Structure 1
Amino acid sequence: MNKSRGKPGQKYQNREAYKFDKWRTDPKAKMLAAMQVINCCPKCTQVIEWKIQFGKYKTLTRPATCLDCKEKAVKYAYHTRCIPCVEKSKRCSKCGDSQSEFVNLPPPSDSELAKKDAEFKSELKRLPERKRRTLLRYMEKLKLDSENPENENQEAIKDKLQEYTEKYAKNDFEFDEFDDERSDVSDDSDNEDLDD
C-alpha cells in the first residue's frame, strides 16, 4: 500500500450536527443543555463541553473530595477543586494549571449583586441632582442603543460615574463649621447694636 497517499477523509459529510437531546425529554438532558463550564482553563473547558455536546457527560451523584482542602465540596463532574479553593489559588478546577485564564467565571451571587447595587446607589446619592439625572439619562440611552444592555455598557457607566464622582461628588463635611460662622456674624451684629 502506498503510504504517501495517507488516509482519506470521511466519505459522507453530515448535513446536520449531532444533537444528544433530540429525542430525550428527561430533566437531565435539559440540565445538560443549559450547563456552563466554570473555573476551567480553555483546554479543560473544551474537553468538558465536548462531553456535554455529545451526551457523554456524567454528573456526580455525591460531592467529590477537593485536592487542596481535602473536603467533600466539589459539586461538578470532572473537576478536582472546589470553588473557594479555585478562587484562592487561581488554578484550573480540572487540571490545576495556573498559567492560563479561566474561560467562564461563575455568575455573581445574590449578596454580591446586592452589595454592588448598594455601592452604586450610594455613589449616585453623593452626586448633585443635576449630574445624577444626567447620568441616569445616559444609562437609559445606552440601554436603548444596545441589544444586550447588561454586559456591554457596565464599563462605560462605571467610567462615567467615576468621572462625575471625582468632579462633582459632595464630600462629607460637618455642619457645625457653618453654625460657628453664623454665630460669629450674629455676635458682631449684636455688638454693633449695643454700641449705638
Structure 2
Amino acid sequence: MSSQRGNVKKRAPKHQNSFAFKHNPKSKKTERILSMPIHGLCDKCFKQIEWRKKYRKYKPLTQPGSCIYCHQKTVTSAYHSACDPCAKERDICAKCCLSKEIVASKEELAAEHERKAQEFESTLEGMRERERRAYLRKLEKEREAIANGEGEGNDGYESFDEEQDESMQ
C-alpha cells in the first residue's frame, strides 16, 4: 500500500466471522459478571456497559476506585467515575458525569426484582399442585438448556414445523 493519504479506496473485509461470539457457559467469572446489576447510568452509558458484558470485555473492579467529587475510595462499580451518593446528589450519570435521564437506579432495580418475585409466587399459589410441579419442572429444564448453551427449542424441529404449517395454509 502506498503512503499517499487520500487516494485510497476502501475494500471489503478480508475475513467474515462465521458465527457470533458466545460466552463460555461454565465460567464462574462470566456468571458473576452477567449477574452484576447496571445502575445509576444514562441510556448511552448503560448500553456501553451492556455491550461490554455481552462480548466479555467487562472487567470488574478488584478494589474500589476514587470518586471525582468526594475524593473517597467509594466507587465500587467498574467504569464509574462518581460514587452512588454523589451521583444521586448531583442527579448525574455515574459514568459520564453528565446531567441526563438516569435509566435504572439501585432502588428501581431492587423494586422490580421484588415485584417479579411476588408475581411469580402469586402465579404459583393460584395453580393446582400438579400444574405447579409441571411448571417448575419446565422452568428447571429451560434453565439447564440455557446453561448448556442450547437455548429454547433445542431439537430444531419446532421452527421447521411452524414454517411448514404457514406455507400449507
Aligned to 1:7: 11
Pick the aligned partner of 2:21 from 18, 22, 35: 18
Query: Deviation per CA, 1:143-180, whole angstroms, max 9, x where unpaired?
Result: x9xxxxxxxxxxxxxxxxxxxxxxxxxxxxxxxxxxxx
Question: SS at 1:64's partner residue?
Answer: coil
Partner of 2:91: 90
Over aligned residues, Cα RMSD in angstroms? 3.2
What residue in structure 1 maps to residue 36 of structure 2? 35
Change (3 A) 1:48 1:108: closer
1:102 alignment counterpart: 102
Q: Is the 8 A contact 2:87 2:94 kept in 1?
A: yes
Q: Which runs of 5+ in 2 are unaligned?
A: 2-6, 112-121, 127-169
CA distance change for structure 1 residues 109 and 46 in 2, over 3 Å: closer, same or farther? closer
Distance 2:42 2:109 in 1: 22
Aligned residues: 110
SS of alignment partner, residue 31 of structure 2: helix
The equivalent of 2:114 in structure 1 is none
Amino acid at match of 2:75: V
Q: Greater RCO between the two (CA within 8 Å, min separation 6)?
A: 2
Q: 1:4 to 1:61 in 2, by over 3 A?
A: closer
Output one character per residue of 1:92-139: Cα deviation in whole Å (capped at 9) or x when no partner: 1011111x21222213598x9xxxxxxxxxxxxxxxxxxxxxxxxxxx
1:109–1:57 CA distance, 2 compared to 1 (3 A)? closer
More helix, by proportion: 1
Deviation at 1:77, TM superposition (A): 0.8
Question: Hey, which bits of structure 1, 4+ residues long, moved more than 6 A?
Answer: none
Q: 5 Å matches for 1:95-174?
A: 95-98=96-99, 100-107=100-107
Query: If the length of structure 2 is used for normalisation, what is the TM-score?
Result: 0.53
Change (3 A) 1:19 1:67: same
AA partner of residue 18 (structure 1): F
Extract unaligned runs of 5+ from structure 1.
Answer: 113-139, 145-196
SS in structure 2 at match of 1:103:
strand
Structure 1 residues 40 and 71, CA gap change in structure 2 (3 angstroms) = same
Amino acid at match of 1:106: K
Larger radius of gyration between Structure 1 and Structure 2: 1
Task: Write the distance in 2 (CA, Å) between the matches of 1:95 and 1:108.
Answer: 20
How far does residue 36 in structure 1 lie from its aligned partner after superposition?
2.8
Superposition deviation, residue 25 in structure 1:
2.6
